[in-house]
């Protein structure tokens, strides 16, 4: 094999490493980080082990030797990102597969490569437990280029001329440095994109979350109403809307203070959220007014759920900051897309609001419907 062919093969081997790490990183969605759940860390460690074996096999098939290839790098990355558990899984999984694809001589060299990579990574973790994300790839590349000299010296006897070995070794170092530099840039870009995606997701979640209660806010409710217009009225499933208002909330604030009022709002939101089904949407529209959008629910089913809310709220007292407790009730208005005269989300909201007025006028702690004179 000529030096030009060998260099081409080394470039291909380095490209395989970069492509494999990029694909694994994108598949994880969150990138490589110790903050990932244990199951995700184990999965990525096995993927890195597979990448190690694939890179080694590629190097052997193209170069007919095992010293100039990057199969050990994924092991080091697993160690640096996932600690001892990462290096154990990746190293052991790689070693168990290698005997099936390499001859005894090449197996010994690859085994030494993998073992030294694991040992150096563990030693590095011992002295530095936390790796700065912007430097970790450069550290991996620096370590790999540092002890690759030892790997290649063990295979020096396979070269007919010392000059060929020197040029091959220099080419490997150059390509290795370039690969590490590119990997640093690629991973840095991925890291920034993932951080931006997380921040955007957090900001979006905050924009649709009520700061006090942690449930959806009015903006979230308005977005759900848009979805009702776009999907529900054009589909086959109905939804029901419960509009809840705490009875005599102003007098509670005046008597017990606004801190007590906030505690009641938080507790009510928790009770509504705990009782809601997985597809229901609970929001605080402002002040003491809450909404529960009941998915796949007609008017009669909504009445059953609404009355259950009335009982659950009225039967259990609310504990105030000073340790005392008071009874709190709510009035509820209900409307549903199953009703003939409800054909838009605006009408759905308006009818529920009228139902709430009926419930208040009928004595509170009741469930009211817009076309009834008296609430239930």
**Domain range for 22:** 3-203
| Between residues 90 and 154, the one the model is more confident about | 90
Q: Tell me, yes or no, whether 352 lies in a domain.
A: yes
Q: Tell me, yes or no, whether 338 lies in a domain.
A: yes
pLDDT at 149 over 80: no
Instruction: For residue 104, count other CB atoms closer than 10 A to its CB.
Output: 7
Q: Is residue 312 located within the same domain as residue 188?
A: no
Query: In the prediction, which pLDDT does 249 show?
Result: 95
How distant, in Å, are the alpha carbons of 21, 28, 144 from that of 138?
Answer: 14, 21, 10
Confidence bin at 159 (pLDDT 50/70/90): low
Q: Are strands 289-294 and 318-319 parallel, antiparallel or unpaired?
A: unpaired
Is the CB of residue 328 less than 8 Å from the CB of residue 252? yes
- Residue closest to 11 by CA, chosen among 219, 179, 194: 179
Phi and psi at residue 173, to the nearest 5°: -60, -40
Instruction: For residue 10, count other CB atoms closer than 10 A to its CB.
Output: 23
Q: Tell me, yes or no, whether 268 lies in a domain.
A: yes
Question: What's the pLDDT tens digit per position in 220-234?
Answer: 999 999 999 988 888
Tell me, letter by letter, the H, E, C secondary structure of 249-262.
HHHHHHHHCHHHHH
Q: Tell me, yes or no, whether 376 lies in a domain.
A: no
Q: Is residue 54 located within the same domain as residue 135?
A: yes
- The token pair at 262 is 């906030």
Q: What integer best gives the mean pLDDT of the chain? A: 80
Is the CB of residue 242 less than 8 Å from the CB of residue 309? yes
Q: Is residue 51 located within the same domain as residue 162?
A: yes
Is the CB of residue 330 less than 8 Å from the CB of residue 282? no
Query: In the prediction, which pLDDT does 10 show?
Result: 67
Picking from 4-18, 60-74, 285-299, which range would have the lowest pLDDT averaged per residue?
Answer: 60-74
Point out the domain boundary residue: 169, 203, 237. Answer: 203
Q: Is residue 136 located within the same domain as residue 241?
A: no
Q: Is residue 11 located within the same domain as residue 156?
A: yes
Q: Tell me, yes or no, whether 348 lies in a domain.
A: yes
Q: Is residue 138 located within the same domain as residue 171?
A: yes
Per-residue burial over 48-64, b = 16 or more CB atoms within 10 Å of its CB, e = otherwise? bbbbbbbbbbbbbebbe
pLDDT at 368 over 90: yes
- The token pair at 121 is 């990574």
| Between residues 47 and 146, the one the model is more confident about | 47
Query: In sequence order, which ranges of the chain are alpha helices (DSSP H)?
Result: 3-28, 38-63, 73-97, 104-127, 136-154, 162-207, 218-227, 249-256, 258-275, 299-315, 345-361
The sheet carrying 367-369 orders its strands as 281-286, 289-294, 240-246, 330-336, 367-369
Work out the angle at residue 224's Cα, subtended by the Cα atoms of residues 222 and 226, and round it to the nearest 5 degrees.
75
Q: In angstroms, rounded to a whole number, what is the distance separating the alpha carbons of residues 172 and 198?
A: 38
Q: Is residue 187 located within the same domain as residue 225?
A: no
Q: Is residue 246 located within the same domain as residue 278?
A: yes
The strand pairing partners of 334, in sequence order, are: 242, 369
| Between residues 307 and 4, the one the model is more confident about | 307
Q: Is residue 194 located within the same domain as residue 329?
A: no
Query: In the prediction, which pLDDT does 5 show?
Result: 64
Q: Tell me, yes or no, whether 197 lies in a domain.
A: yes
Instruction: For residue 69, count other CB atoms closer than 10 A to its CB.
Output: 29
Q: Is residue 59 located within the same domain as residue 142?
A: yes
Block residue for tokens 């005269």: 341
Q: How many residues does the chain have?
A: 376
Q: In angstroms, rounded to a whole number, what is the distance separating the alpha carbons of residues 111 and 364?
A: 77
Q: Tell me, yes or no, whether 210 lies in a domain.
A: no
Question: What's the pLDDT tens digit per position in 88-139?
Answer: 888 888 888 878 777 776 777 777 778 877 887 777 777 654 545 445 556 6
Q: Is residue 52 located within the same domain as residue 192?
A: yes
pLDDT at 153 over 80: no
Picking from 129-133, 160-164, 343-347, which range would have the lowest pLDDT averaged per residue?
Answer: 129-133
CATH code, 357: 3.30.70.270
Question: How many structural domains is the chain composed of?
Answer: 2
| Between residues 85 and 270, the one the model is more confident about | 270
Q: For the chain, how long is the longest CA-to-CA vector?
A: 102
Query: In the prediction, which pLDDT does 30 show?
Result: 46
What does the pLDDT average to over 63-90? 72
Is the CB of residue 229 less than 8 Å from the CB of residue 326? no
Q: In angstroms, rounded to a whole number, what is the distance separating the alpha carbons of residues 149 and 366?
A: 81
pLDDT at 184 over 60: no
Per cent of the chain over pLDDT 70 is 71
Q: Is residue 124 located within the same domain as residue 179?
A: yes
Q: Tell me, yes or no, whether 374 lies in a domain.
A: no
Query: In the prediction, which pLDDT does 270 show?
Result: 95
């Amino acid at each position: 094999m000529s030096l030009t062919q060998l260099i081409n093969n080394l470039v291909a081997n380095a490209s395989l490493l970069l492509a494999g790490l990029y694909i694994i990183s994108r598949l994880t969605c969150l990138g490589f980080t110790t903050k990932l759940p244990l199951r995700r860390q184990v999965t990525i460690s096995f993927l890195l082990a597979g990448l190690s074996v694939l890179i080694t096999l590629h190097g052997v098939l193209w170069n007919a030797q095992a010293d100039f290839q990057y199969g050990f790098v994924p092991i080091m990355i697993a160690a640096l990102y996932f600690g001892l558990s990462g290096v154990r899984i990746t190293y052991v999984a790689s070693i168990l597969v290698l005997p099936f694809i390499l001859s005894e001589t090449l197996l010994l060299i690859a085994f030494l490569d993998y073992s030294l990579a694991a040992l150096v990574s563990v030693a590095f973790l011992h002295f530095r437990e936390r790796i700065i994300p912007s430097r970790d790839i450069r550290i991996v590349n620096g370590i790999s280029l540092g002890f690759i000299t030892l790997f290649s010296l063990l295979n020096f006897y396979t070269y007919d001329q010392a000059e060929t070995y020197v040029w091959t070794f220099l080419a490997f170092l150059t390509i290795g440095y370039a690969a590490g530099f590119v990997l640093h840039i690629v991973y840095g870009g991925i890291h920034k994109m993932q951080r931006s995606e997380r921040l955007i997701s957090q900001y979006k979640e905050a924009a649709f979350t009520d700061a006090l209660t942690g449930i959806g806010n009015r903006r979230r409710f308005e977005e759900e109403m848009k979805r009702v217009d776009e999907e529900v009225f054009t589909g086959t499933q109905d939804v029901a809307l419960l509009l809840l208002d705490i009875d005599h909330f102003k007098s509670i604030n005046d008597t017990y203070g606004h801190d007590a009022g906030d505690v009641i709002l938080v507790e009510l939101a928790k009770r509504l959220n705990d009782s809601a089904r997985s597809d229901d949407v609970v929001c605080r529209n402002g002040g003491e007014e809450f909404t529960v959008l009941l998915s796949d629910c007609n008017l009669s089913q909504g009445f059953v759920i609404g009355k259950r809310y009335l009982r659950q709220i009225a039967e259990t007292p609310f504990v105030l900051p000073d340790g005392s407790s008071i009874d709190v009730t709510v009035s509820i208005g209900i409307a549903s897309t199953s009703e003939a005269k409800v054909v838009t989300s605006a009408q759905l909201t308006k009818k529920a609001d009228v139902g709430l007025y009926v419930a208040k006028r009928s004595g509170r702690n009741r469930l009211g419907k817009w076309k009834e004179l008296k609430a239930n």
